[in-house]
Chains A and B, each alone.
Chain A
């Protein structure tokens, strides 16, 4: 089992819709969860982080964390074509200072 799992996609949504991206992780001791956005050929850009169970909102983005289910998600409201990118879920695993990344979900927002 991979430490961090994501559906590779592509996830295709129409412009203006809500995009829902999901991620599961295997280490119950993980405390910090991050969502990065990566455009093709570019390095990842941090867009959201969450540490506590529940929802965290920042503009059009909402991160949701459920530690009991080992599940973290990212909602993007009013999706725009410029949101088209690969979204990487990252988790800190016990005993490691680096983050462990999922394989990413490619999002396509159709104009």
Chain B
């Protein structure tokens, strides 16, 4: 399967700081990447769809000014949590689809556990 690399794996930060999470497709090109968030014992909730070279599409209820997404190349998307607060503590997971595959399979990064103190 395709490999998606996500960094960092975990981060602890103080309230009010910003945190950047990187997501890279290592062996394929991804025009679209998806950012999910997962709270404990809950399912994955889509936050936004990251599109290479254009603005991200955010799901209802997700603040675009708080969760900044940049998809500057076919292999890299970043999510920046700005002015993080304790309620932003969650497991953030990126995923991508191989643009040359004819199917809908999503491959996931290893996730980032964010803890905001």
Contact = CB atoms under 8 A, between A and B. Distances in A.
Contact of A43 (B1, B42, B93): B93
Contacts of B6: 43
B49 interface: yes
Contacts of B34: 97-99
Contact of B107 (A46, A90, A98, A103): A46
Given A98-B46, A98-B49, A103-B43, A32 B1 contact: no
B113 interface: yes
Please classify how large the interface on chain A is, using the bins under 10, 10 to 19, 20 to 34, 35 or more.
20 to 34
Count chain B CB atoms within 10 A of each CB in A32, A51, A98, A102 and give the residue with the most: A98
A35 B2 CA distance: 17
A92 interface: yes
B1 A46 contact: yes
Given A46-B105, A49-B105, 17 more contacts: A31-B104, A32-B104, A34-B104, A34-B105, A43-B109, A44-B108, A46-B1, A46-B106, A46-B107, A92-B104, A97-B34, A97-B97, A99-B34, A99-B104, A99-B106, A100-B46, A101-B36
14 contacts: A32-B103, A34-B104, A42-B111, A43-B109, A44-B44, A44-B108, A45-B108, A46-B106, A49-B104, A49-B105, A88-B43, A97-B32, A101-B45, A103-B42
